[in-house]
Structure 1
Amino acid sequence: MAKGWQGPLPEMPSLPAARAWARLEPPEGYAVQWRRLIDAALELGLGPEELAESGMDDVAAAREWKPATVALYSKVARYGGVPLPTPPTPEPDPRTLDLRPLTEVRSEDPEHLRTVVWCAIALRWPAPVGSFRDLRREQVHATARRLVVTTDDGEWSVPGALTAWHAWEAVRNRFPALAGSPWVLPALRRGPGYTSQVGGRLSSQALQVTFTKHAVRTALYLRATTTGGRRTRAEALAAVYETLSYDSYRRLALAAGTEPVAARGAVRAERATRANKAAAAPPA
């Protein structure tokens, strides 16, 4: 059982910050984020007791963390036993964004195509990352005009993803381990785990990293290929892509009016959609 943080006894000195952190176990599945949180706290000389008392404001300011990052590390701290308040999950910033460049096929690189098909499907089926991790090829059917995604919760029509789907299927079928994999988004290389294998199921964290790399590479592509009058717009788009996460991508797709496919995020999506419509309405 993970040890939770406990305050010092009355009139007893606190442990040095580094020793206090060393007494805590990292929460399962968040070892990397836990280490980063500790490093950020120790830079300011904060142990778990001081962090619990002062909150995340000083750490966030020192690291220039955005609200979404603060929300993440606050959650990690709570999972590790440091009692921090729960900050509200921020709305996407900006509230609207052109996501189509992330769905465009630019090469036959397997990693590129795997993420492009993910983005193309998520634009119309904005499921949480865990749903994509578990999505099997047998659940996705290509018709003449669109993809159809079938889950235990229903069936969804996904227009606009056929090109990416066929390109990804054609390339993955060149490699036996990928061709035989049941997963829509399989591992392309072995990871550190004993059970990791090419064609195996990726972890949610690995998928998040894959998306981030794709967004950054798309930003570089936009900067390198856009000229003339579209340069300013491409530069602004690239700047957002450089820090875009899949969670934000999903929220933006929902805010654009795509029907929610899971309870998570549905209320916030409806709120964002109303805000977008209000912003677009002409003044009375």
Structure 2
Amino acid sequence: MPGAWQPPLPDMPAPPPARAWARLPVPPGYEPQWRRLVEAALEQGLGPDALAETGLEPLVAARDWKPATVALYSKVARYGGVGVPRATTPEPDPVTLDLRELTRVRSEAPEHLRSVAWCALALGWPATVGQFQGLRRDQVQATGRRLVVATEDGEWSVPGALTAWHAWEEVRSRFPGLAASPWVLPALRRGPGPNSHVGGQLSTQALQVTFAKHAVRTATAMRATAPPSRRADVEELAADYLTLSYDSYRRLALAGGAPPVGPRGAVRALRTVGRRARLAG
């Protein structure tokens, strides 16, 4: 006897977004980025399936992510099994940029000197944000002429960063929490987390924000102190600083001839060098 006709099964309703995200495995090595991606999606009420349909556009609009951030989180989403469209990391624009103003000591404020020391060190040791987050003070030694950075990946000699480094070390020695901290770029104040404390390890997101604030403050200071004869040039440079991210700073340092610290960004820097040569004719 033939079986009775049965209607097709209805579409299974999607689980709540929070439960759907919890079912996905976290991509190894990208735990902080995955957590922030999930938080941004949940703010918009989007589960993994919905995010795959819409792409990252709702998150970009809500959080005002820059192109480099969009490229990073699109990669992280795909690593976690969410099929969002691929976004390429933008090339540095402009191709060249004078970065020395970001290494100039302008005050004795700890936040300023921490950023200046970071920028000065990154000009000769263009590491990623994650590498700077885990960089310890005992891995940086000051000689009479330069700094020496020694990690598990090798040893690098960094000229031109002594003034900024000594200024930062001298100021942090005045505060017990900073003086006892093992980190090169420690927290200057307590954050919202229960384990946050002065001298603690900053997150990569906090470091990105720290750099952006330093770039904007440097642009403001340049505009306020520019002599009339250089006002046009300073205005142009300050405008570039207003949108500068650390990732772009690092790629510009690599394109300017700094030795690669690791494979990430090295190929892109070589392409930038070739692009600069083509533009020069």
How would you bin the TM-score normalised by the shorter chain?
A: 0.7 to 0.9
Larger Rg: 2
Tell whether the 8 Å contact from 1:212 to 1:244 is kept in structure 2 after alignment. Answer: yes
The count of corresponding residues between Structure 1 and Structure 2 is 266
**Does the C-alpha gap of structure 1 residues 38 and 80 become closer, same or farther in structure 2, counting only changes over 3 Å?**
farther
Query: Do the aligned residues in 2 keep the contact of 1:34 with 1:76 (CA within 8 Å)?
Result: no
The answer as to 2:129 corresponding to 1:126 is no
User: Structure 1 residue 29 and structure 2 residue 32: aligned?
Assistant: yes
Other-structure match for 1:234: 234
1:87-102 alignment, distance < 5 Å: 87-102=87-102
Q: Letter of the 1:241 partner, please give it.
A: Y
Q: Which residue of 1 aligns with 2:4?
A: none
Q: Deviation at 1:79?
A: 5.7
**For the aligned residues, what is the CA RMSD?**
2.8
User: Cα distance 1:24–1:229, how it changes in 2: closer, same or farther (>3 A)?
Assistant: farther
The 3 A distance-change label for structure 1 pair 64 and 171 is: closer
SS of the residue corresponding to residue 148 of structure 1 reads: strand
Tell me which residue corresponds to 1:259. 259
C-alpha distance 56-194 of structure 1, shift in aligned 2 (>3 A): closer
User: Counterparts of 1:121 and 1:12 in 2: how far apart (Å)?
Assistant: 56
Q: Please name the residue that 2:11 is paired with.
A: 12
The farther-off stretch of 62-71 and 128-137 is 62-71
Deviation of 1:223 (Å): 2.0
Q: 2:21 touches 2:38 (CA, 8 Å); kept in 1?
A: no
Residue 54 of structure 1, CA deviation: 5.2
Distance (whole Å) between structure 2 residues aligned to residue 146 and residue 233 of structure 1 = 30
Which is worse superposed, 101-110 or 204-213? 204-213
Distance apart, 1:36 and its partner CA: 3.8
User: Any conservation in 1 of the 2:254–2:269 contact (CA below 8 Å)?
Assistant: yes
> 2 CA distance for matches of 1:126 and 1:233?
26
Q: Which residue of 1 aligns with 2:149?
A: 149
Post-superposition shift, 1:174?
Answer: 0.7
- Between the aligned partners of 2:213 and 2:112, the Cα distance in structure 1 is 9
Distance in 1 between residues matched to 2:252 and 2:69, nearest whole Å: 17
Which residue number in structure 1 is paired with residue 198 of structure 2? Answer: 198
Assess, with a 3 A threshold, how the Cα gap between structure 1 residues 59 and 34 changes in structure 2: closer, same or farther.
closer
Mapped pair 1:276 → 2:276: yes
Contact 1:146/1:160 (<8 A) preserved:
yes
Question: 2:21 corresponds to which letter in structure 1?
Answer: E
Q: Contact conserved, 2:41 with 2:51, CA < 8 A, in 1?
A: no
What is the distance in 2 between the residues matched to 1:187 and 1:258? 27
Query: Is there any run of 5+ residues in structure 1 with no aligned partner, and where?
Result: 1-8
Deviation of 1:158 (Å) = 0.8
* 1:107 counterpart letter in structure 2: S
Aligned partner of residue 25 in structure 1, secondary structure:
helix
| Cα drift, residue 12 of structure 1 | 2.9
For the 8 Å contact 1:20–1:48, the answer to whether it is kept is no
CA distance in 2, matches of 1:49, 1:188: 40
Pairing of 1:47-86 with structure 2 (within 5 A): 49=49, 51-53=51-53, 55-56=55-56, 66-78=66-78, 81-86=81-86
**Residues 255, 276 of structure 1: 8 Å contact kept:** no
Q: Give the match's secondary structure for 1:269.
A: helix
The corresponding residue for 1:183 is 183
Please name the residue that 1:210 is paired with: 210
Do the aligned residues in 1 keep the contact of 2:148 with 2:156 (CA within 8 Å)? yes
Q: Does 1:165 align with 2:161?
A: no
**Shift in Å, 1:115:** 0.8
Is the contact between residue 149 and residue 158 of structure 1 (CA under 8 Å) also seen in structure 2?
yes
How far did residue 51 of structure 1 move? Answer: 4.4
CA–CA distance in 2 between the matches of 1:112 and 1:83? Answer: 41
* Structure 1 Cα separation of the partners of residues 180 and 110 of structure 2: 15
Provide the rounded CA distance (Å) in 2 between the counterparts of 1:237 and 1:34.
36
Q: Do the aligned partners of 1:34 and 1:77 also contact (CA within 8 Å) in 2?
A: no
In structure 2, how many angstroms separate the alpha carbons of the residues matched to 1:35 and 1:10? Answer: 33
Gaps of 5+ in 2: 1-7
CA drift of 1:236 comes to 1.9
Q: CA deviation at 1:201?
A: 1.8
